[in-house]
Amino acid sequence: MARRGNLAFLAVVAISAAPSFVVACSTFSETGSDAGPGSPDGAPGSDAATDAVVETAPPPSDVGADAPPKPRCDRNAAFVGALPVPGIPIPTANDYSAYVSPDELYILVSTDRDGSSYTHYYEAFRTDSTLPFVGMRKLMGFGGAGESDETPTFRPKSNTFVYCREQVSIPAAIFGVPMADGGASGTPLPITDLKSVGDRQCHVHYARHAPELWFSAFVPGAGWQIYRAREKAALDGFDPPVPVSELNNGVSDSWVPVVSDDGLTVYFGSNRADPAALGLHDLWMATRSDPNGTFGAPRLVSELSSAADEWPAFASADDCRLYFVTGASGKARIMVATRPAPTPK
């Protein structure tokens, strides 16, 4: 596999349609809003997830019935309390990326914990976002021989799982597979609309605010660069990808973009030469005031970066929690950090 600094490169995601993919797929059906894995009913056969979502919803404002809800955190504050996601890490495994459901009750991890030299998917559930994930198990049928699976995301409009696939001697590419209750309902196919940039594409993320697919493409002479492609009205189509130029510098990697649900913040990994940089691929972010506008200058998320590799995995719906990957321990670990509550005025 390619390498990311001192860690095995974010492998890339392949999904094989298989009847063994039952539990996770049964949660992929879209009910109302962006359900995805860990849909409003959470783990199959349970109503606990719905209760958890209600319990953790922003508190009502005490200013008046029409006042907006109070913010749950100070989005300008530094993240604090970074810890491994409970229930996920084991000492011998590298966990390179993850999809987390919007309610944070389901996680799909790309990991080498099966002992192979490739990364495959493992899933786990929980009934409350404050509890550890439990029941971590391999999704049989994901990733064939010589394949690595990475950066999973979910496209609710077409009920499609989107991912990056890397195979021996085959360049990384982004694939999609439609999901239905009980399993994949079709064969994984490359998303050809995204292949017009770079010589390989990976690190895909579905940005709900647009909606768009954000991803990185390897451009010879420039490294990994971040692109976005807006969803067409047709379920299977995207507009031509365009570079997110304000995040790319043309000489260093900018990859693994994760966009907040309101489109105002983007997190990404980069090995750019900068006086603030701490290590190999650090964690960076940029903000904007308009979800259709241009992002300001990227800044280092110094409190979550180290001398090792870091990159983002998932931002909570309120942008108060960030799941990210770090190699600071010598193994790739999925961590979660939280922004503090607003200071009372």
CATH of residue 187: 2.115.10
Least confident of 23-37, 129-143, 312-326: 23-37
Q: Is 85 helix (H, G, I), strand (E, B) or coil?
A: coil
Least confident of 78-92, 98-112, 120-134, 185-199: 185-199
Decide if 206 is inside a domain: yes
Is the pLDDT higher at 246 or at 31?
246
> How much helix, strand and coil, in percent to the nearest 5, is found in the chain?
5, 40, 55
> 227: part of which helix (H) or strand (E)?
strand 223-230
CA dihedral over 289, 290, 291, 295, signed as positive or negative = negative
Does residue 70 surpass a pLDDT of 80? no
Tally Cβ neighbours within 10 Å of residue 31: 11
CB 96 within 8 A of CB 10: yes
Decide if 146 is inside a domain: yes
Does residue 182 surpass a pLDDT of 50? no
List b or e across 173-206, with b for residues whose CB sees 16 or more CB atoms inside 10 angstroms: bbbbbbbeeebbeeebeebebbbebbebbbbbbb
Across the chain, what does the average pLDDT equal? 80
Q: Exposed/middle/buried for 4, CB within 10 Å: 0-12, 13-18, 19+? A: buried
CA 64 to mean position of chain CA atoms: 36
Decide if 177 is inside a domain: yes
Per-residue pLDDT band for 76 (boundaries 50, 70, 90) equals very high
Decide if 271 is inside a domain: yes
pTM of the model: 0.81
Cα(88)–Cα(134) distance, integer angstroms: 8
Q: Say how many domains are in the chain.
A: 1
DSSP state of 192: G
Domain hosting 205: range is 3-45+72-337
Decide if 61 is inside a domain: no
Is the pLDDT higher at 27 or at 107?
107
- Tell me the mean pLDDT in the region 198-227: 94
Least confident of 18-22, 202-206, 289-293: 18-22
Cross-strand bridge partners of residue 287: 265
Instruction: Outline where DSSP puts E strands in 134-169.
Output: 134-138, 147-155, 160-167
Per-residue pLDDT band for 109 (boundaries 50, 70, 90) equals very high
Decide if 342 is inside a domain: no
Most confident of the following: 33-47, 132-146, 205-219: 205-219
Q: Exposed/middle/buried for 52, CB within 10 Å: 0-12, 13-18, 19+? A: buried
Decide if 291 is inside a domain: yes
Decide if 26 is inside a domain: yes
